[in-house]
Amino acid sequence: TRTAAVIPAAGRGVRLGPGAPKALRTLNGTPMLVHAVRAMAASRYVSLVVVVAPADGAGEVKSLLDEYEHALPERTEFLVVPGGDTRQESVRLGLKALPDDIAAVLVHDAARPLVPVDTVDAVVEAVRDGAVAVVPALPLADTVKQVEPRPHGTPEPVVATPERALLRAVQTPQGFDRAVLAHAHATVPAAGDGATDCAGMVERLGRPVVVVPGHEEAFKVTRPLDLVLAEAVLARRRA
Ligand code: CTP
Ligand code: MG
């Protein structure tokens, strides 16, 4: 079972504020994308990494990976393809670039640069054990309320409070049987901004999705405070 990792990295990072595309912003001097690629390549199961670059930045991303080649394991092969307008579209373009002999695929956000290799391996192993879709996830710290959305600044009525113990916050890498994920991308229509998560598309096909334990360090860099946390995690690792 040859396994590939597709890394959607084509987003702008609007919530992070002005600057370079999010995947190219640095953490302690190294671009977030390089951390994410290294996290996937660190798994002994992963033999190919497909990076989905900003549509106008594929060349820049290729040179970046060449520049950091010395810091990446030799057995891993790399491909760079241009992305689309939504995460779902970017993932679809990444899947299209996979060679035929790939049987299992991980989809991993460039914006989760610090996921530990044990979490990556646990996801791959669950797929190898026969699961068609696997997501790493953690219990929630906060209570979650469903609301009736109102314009910003207006109080929003609460509609329901789902039982927190039954909820999980989902991370990446998400692991899939390659044929099932490709089928999901070929048949599930893009709704609005596209699916925020690949496993949701597999659920819509009626196929089972299972959860394995996620990791605190697999958090997504979304807002400026997350950059502070990510750099602190890196500093602690080096200490
Ligand atoms: N992504 C992508 N193509 C898009 C949009 C997002 O490949 N058109 C990727 C991002 O690069 C990121 C992952 O999907 O690695 C998760 O998306 P998110 O954290 O929302 O990143 P951005 O969309 O870049 O951030 P924002 O929503 O704040 O603009
Ligand atoms: Mg986004």
Predicted confidence band of residue 1 (pLDDT cuts 50, 70, 90):
confident
pLDDT digits (tens, 9 = 90+) for 42-96: 999 999 999 999 999 999 999 999 999 888 888 889 999 999 999 999 999 999 9
* Ligand 1 atom nearest to 220, measured from its CA: 19
CB atoms within 10 A of CB 210: 15
Q: Which of 109, 185, 198, 226 to mutate to test the pocket of ligand 1 (most atoms within 8 A of CB)?
A: 109
Number of structural domains the chain divides into: 1
Averaged pLDDT, 176-192: 87
Q: Which of 6, 7, 12, 89 to mutate to test the pocket of ligand 1 (most atoms within 8 A of CB)?
A: 12
Q: What is the residue-averaged pLDDT of the chain?
A: 95
CB of 171 closer than 6 A to ligand 1?
no
66: CA distance to ligand 2 center in Å?
27
> If phi over 0 gives left and psi between -120 and 50 gives alpha, with beta otherwise, what is residue 238?
alpha
Query: How many Å apart are CA 109 and CA 50, to the nearest integer?
Result: 12
Please name the amino acid found at residue 206.
G
pLDDT digits (tens, 9 = 90+) for 117-169: 999 999 999 999 999 999 999 999 999 999 999 999 999 999 999 999 999 99
Query: How many Å apart are CA 184 and CA 205, to the nearest integer?
Result: 7
CB of 11 closer than 6 A to ligand 1?
yes
Closest CA to ligand 1's atom 10: 11
Q: Containing domain of residue 19, as a range?
A: 2-238
Question: Residues whose CB is under 5 A from ligand 2 (ion)?
Answer: 11
CB of 197 closer than 6 A to ligand 1?
no
Q: Which ligand is nearest to the CA of 15?
A: 1
Kindly report the CATH number assigned to the domain that includes residue 203.
Answer: 3.90.550.10
Q: Which ligand is nearest to the CA of 172?
A: 1
pLDDT at 16: 97
Distances (CA, A) of 57 to 6, 21, 49, 51, 53: 17, 9, 17, 11, 6
Q: What number is the ipTM of this complex?
A: 0.99
63: CA distance to ligand 2 center in Å?
24
Residue 53 near residue 7, CB atoms below 8 Å = no
